[in-house]
Amino acid sequence: MTATQSKTIITNRWNDTDAPQSDGLAALTYRSNLLGADRTLVNIYGGNTSTKSVEKDHLGRDVTVLWVKGSGSDIASITEKGFAGLKLDEVLPCSTARRCPTRK
């Protein structure tokens, strides 16, 4: 570190009482809001957060979902509705194929 650089101390804002007990969408929302609350870490409307979780689909089956922050959402105030849920079984084939197999 040079003489003109300063150290930034990041405050631990985690609160076990307020934090959701699950690892899914509610926990992602909580973590995102904490990160966004510190503007030395994330600019307004910036930042990307995501998580994977197992959710029930409309037929009650377990599916692995990747929750991704929607573009233009501010992570300091994002709610669960601000995340898009992508079924990994449907998305993963697209990551290795030149074209997504479902596209024509």
> Which one is predicted more confidently, 104 or 70?
70
pLDDT-derived band at 40, boundaries 50, 70, 90: confident
> Which one is predicted more confidently, 8 or 21?
21
- Per-residue pLDDT reduced to its tens digit, 43-76: 888 889 999 999 999 999 999 999 999 888 999 9
Among residues 90, 103, 42, the alpha carbon closest in space to that of 64 is found at 90
Residue type, 85: G
Among residues 44, 37, 43, the alpha carbon closest in space to that of 18 is found at 37
Contact 28, 51 (CB under 8 A): yes
Is this model's pTM higher than 0.85 or not? no
Structure-derived torsion over alpha carbons of residues 103, 25, 34, 12, reported in degrees to the nearest 10: -120
